[in-house]
Chain A
Amino acid sequence: MEITTLQRGSITVIAIAGSIDGMTATTLVTSFREQVAGGNVRIVSDFAAVEYTSSAGLRALLETVKETRQQGGDLRLAAVQPDVLRVLELSGFTHILKLFPDVEAAVASFPA
């Protein structure tokens, strides 16, 4: 799994590529926590290149959604692929997380 982070105005875009499992989720959690600790609580996570996630990835997302929303921000997902979407749906996460077709739409969804 690879993580690339870039800033788009006040929005932090974290692009993930590869598989999120019990091994790689640790890196993802660290990456999210670093952003939140640095005050970046308006986050878009680009899932276009995420081919697989287990519940380890869901735990990372849930923790980050809670942390960011409690600080007035949010974690929003972009370009979730069908296999990952199914895992989100089975877990009820599509009711919790805001999903967008692409990074542009997710970034634009935050109030200016």
Chain B
Amino acid sequence: MKREIGLDARPENLKVIRDFIEDACREAGVPASEAKDIKLAVDEACCNVVEHGYAGSPGTGPVGVAFEADGKTIAVTVSDRGRSFDPSQAPGPDVGAGWRDRRIGGLGWHLIRQLVDDVRYESGAAGNRLTLVKRRPPVPEKTERG
């Protein structure tokens, strides 16, 4: 199944996007624990677009979210037309550091990497596309008792 939504990249639309992901996951039969992971990862990705994508003119650009699920994977693509940012260049936080040394930034990408199995990024004339992929656990085959 495939579902898509397109909105202005504004903070108040983050909840709309989370609700969209929740509904799509429910429709695709994604278990609650995986749905929560996907929802948070997508929220982080969209929040980055809202906060940084259209810096200088916040809220003036679009953010698109496309949800696609089959038996093996759930893929959510976040697209925008703002400033490109390759997540592989994002510095990771030192999660073992004490409170004095912990930096305030970098947590969003860290969470995304923890929550999904694959992060793909492409940027070109048509804008930026970030795809978050979560693999679905195999459904155990039913066995006959006896």
Contacts and interface: CB of A to CB of B under 8 A. Distances in A.
Interface in B87-146: 93-100, 102, 104-105, 107-108, 110-111, 114-115
Contacts of A62: 99, 102, 104
B93 A92 contact: yes
A85 interface: no
Interface stretch (A6-14, A33-41, A52-60): A52-60
B98 A96 contact: yes
Contacts of B95: 91-92, 95
A101 interface: no
Given A19-B15, A23-B11, A95 B96 contact: yes
A63 B47 contact: no
B43 interface: yes
Interface of A, secondary structure class, is helix
Contact of A58 (B12, B96, B98, B107): B107
Interface residues of B, number: 29
Given A87-B40, A92-B96, A22 B51 contact: yes
Interface residues of A, number: 23
A55 B108 contact: yes
Contacts of B107: 55, 58-59, 91
A90 B41 CA distance: 12
Nearest to B40: A54
A41 to B, nearest CB: 14
A104 interface: no
Nearest to B99: A96
Nearest to A57: B107
Contact of B110 (A19, A22, A91): A91
A66 B103 CA distance: 10
A6 B74 CA distance: 44
B81 interface: no
Contacts of B15: 19, 21, 23
A21 B47 contact: yes
B111 A91 contact: yes
Residue picked from A54, A65, A92, most chain B C-beta under 10 Å:
A54
A55 B44 contact: yes
Contact of A59 (B11, B100, B104, B115): B104
Nearest to A22: B47
